Amino acid sequence: MKTRSSRQDVAEVPAEAVEHDGAARRAEMSRQLQADVDRSRRRQRAARYLGRLAIVVGMLALWNYSSGRLVDEFWVSSPGAVWERLSEWLIDGTILHHFAFTIRAMVFGLLIGTVSGITVGFILGMSRFLSDIFEPFILVVYGLPKIALAPLFILWFGIGIESKVILAAVIVFFLVFYNTYAGVHAVDRGLLDVVAIMGGGRSDRLRHVILPSCTAWIYTGLQLAVPYSLIGAIVGEIIASDRGLGYLLRRSSGTFDTPGTISALIVLAAIGLAFMALVRLSQKWTASWMRVQPAVGNAI
């Protein structure tokens, strides 16, 4: 039943009936068809949500059942215990305290990385000479997992917020830099020619072709950079910190506090989800031409 597609609904209308009667009949028919399609869509959506709910409930039930029976509660905790810990942390401000630290590290890293990435991307993108000089260095860093720099940054900048900001900024920098750089190189020469023939000078070409062309690439880089800046901040906190959600996670697991560990993970998942929703929203707001660029660069 549920697999019946809307196309089959349309096919069920006998053709001669449409020809026979006038416009009113046709209008009535199309209204009815639309109602059918709407109804089946609603039904499908309800089924989808029900299915998802069933999975969540099933998982929780399985977790609840197996905890203490199949697996030692010490390892997996239980839904009730996690809920208790989570609400306790929410009420006493623990979550807020660490959340604020992580978000601050992330946002500063995002800002610094974006601005420097765009700047350097343009400078190297526009100058053949400079990009030739820097190419091998860029390749070396491209292959390096940026996360591996975290211990060094902690050594240099301490266990405070600075080392987390720097780590997030470095990850963001490379994502935004690669995309800006690729964007400058991907500028369509045909478009530059068109503007030149129209009498456009260097500044017209920059303003009407090069900058907007790169905007789409930078935007794509930023979409990637947002979740990865969170990774940068968290990893920095996990390695060495006295605040932040990453620290909360490590402290909980370090003290064999399984409900705490799972609670911290749940908060992180929620933050990730929120950022994904933000990125999706921003996609809706941007013009369609912005969405066509492929992203380049490896993040971590």
Partner 1 sequence: MNRKALNPPGEATTLVSSGAGGSSSQSPDAEIEFVNVEKYFLRDGRLVETLRDLNLAVPRGQFVCLIGPSGCGKSTLLNMTAGLFEPTAGSVRFQGSPVALPNTKVGYITQQDNLLPWRTTARNVELALRIKKMPKAQRRRRAQDIIDLVGLSGFEDAYPSELSGGMRKRVTLARTLVYEPDVLLADEPFGALDAQLKLLLARELLTIWERTRQTMVFVTHDISEAIALADRVIVFSRRPATVKLDCPVDLPRPRDLFSIRSERRYGELYEKLWLALADDIEAGEAV
Minimum separation from the CB atom of position 117 to partner 1 (A):
20
Is there binding between residue 120 and partner 1 (CB under 8 A)? no
Name the residue among 160, 180, 144 with its Cα closest to residue 108.
160
What minimum distance in Å lies between the beta carbon of 189 and partner 1? 5
Choose between 86 and 187: whose C-beta lies nearer to partner 1. Answer: 187
Our CB check for partner 1 shows the closer of 94 and 131 to be 131
**131 part of the interface to partner 1, by CB under 8 A:** no
- Of 56-64, 145-153, 213-221, 246-254, which segment contacts partner 1 by CB under 8 A? 213-221
Does 243 interact with partner 1 (rule: CB under 8 A)?
no
Cα 227 from Cα 222, distance rounded (Å): 9
How many chain residues bind partner 1 (CB under 8 A)? 31
Q: Which is nearer to partner 1, 6 or 215 (CB)?
A: 215
The 181-200 contact track toward partner 1, x by CB under 8 A, reads: ------xxxxxxxxxxxxxx
Which of helix, strand or coil describes residue 71?
strand
| CB 186 to partner 1: min, Å | 12
DSSP 3-state of 212: helix
Q: Does 123 bind partner 1 (CB under 8 A)?
A: no
Beta carbons of 146 and 117 less than 8 angstroms apart: no
Q: Is 38 in the site for partner 1 (CB under 8 A)?
A: no
d(CA 120, CA 127): 11
Q: What is the smallest separation between the CB atom of 137 and partner 1, expressed in angstroms?
A: 22
Query: Which of 111, 115, 186, 208 touches partner 1 (CB under 8 A)?
Result: 208
**2 lies in the binding site for partner 1 (CB under 8 A):** no
CB neighbour burial string for 64-101, b if at least 16 within 10 angstroms, e if fewer: eeebeeeeeeeebbbbebbeebbeebeeeebbeebbeb
Q: Which is nearer to partner 1, 5 or 286 (CB)?
A: 286
The residue among 199 and 294 lying less far from partner 1, judged by its C-beta, is 199
Q: Is 251 in the site for partner 1 (CB under 8 A)?
A: no
Long-range Cβ contact pairs of 153-158 (< 8 A, separation 24 or more): 153/236, 154/236, 154/239, 154/240
b (16+ CB within 10 A) / e for 168-192:
bbbbbbbbbbbbbbbbbebbeeeeb
- List the x/- string, 214-233, binding to partner 1 by CB under 8 A: -xx-----------------
Nearer to partner 1, 192 or 267 (CB): 192
Q: Is residue 285 involved in binding partner 1 (CB under 8 A)?
A: no
Torsion angle defined by CA atoms of residues 131, 133, 139 and 142, in that order, rounded to the nearest 10 degrees: -60
Residue 249 found at the interface with partner 1 (CB under 8 A): no
Task: Using alpha carbons only, give the angle 159, 107, 121 rounded to the nearest 5 degrees.
Answer: 105
Which uninterrupted H or E stretch holds 44? helix 23-66
71 phi/psi in degrees, rounded to 5? -125, 150
Q: What is the CA radius of gyration of the chain?
A: 27
Question: 282: helix, coil or strand?
Answer: helix
Which residues are at the interface with partner 1 (CB under 8 A)?
126, 128, 187-200, 202, 204-205, 208-210, 212-213, 215-216, 287-290, 292
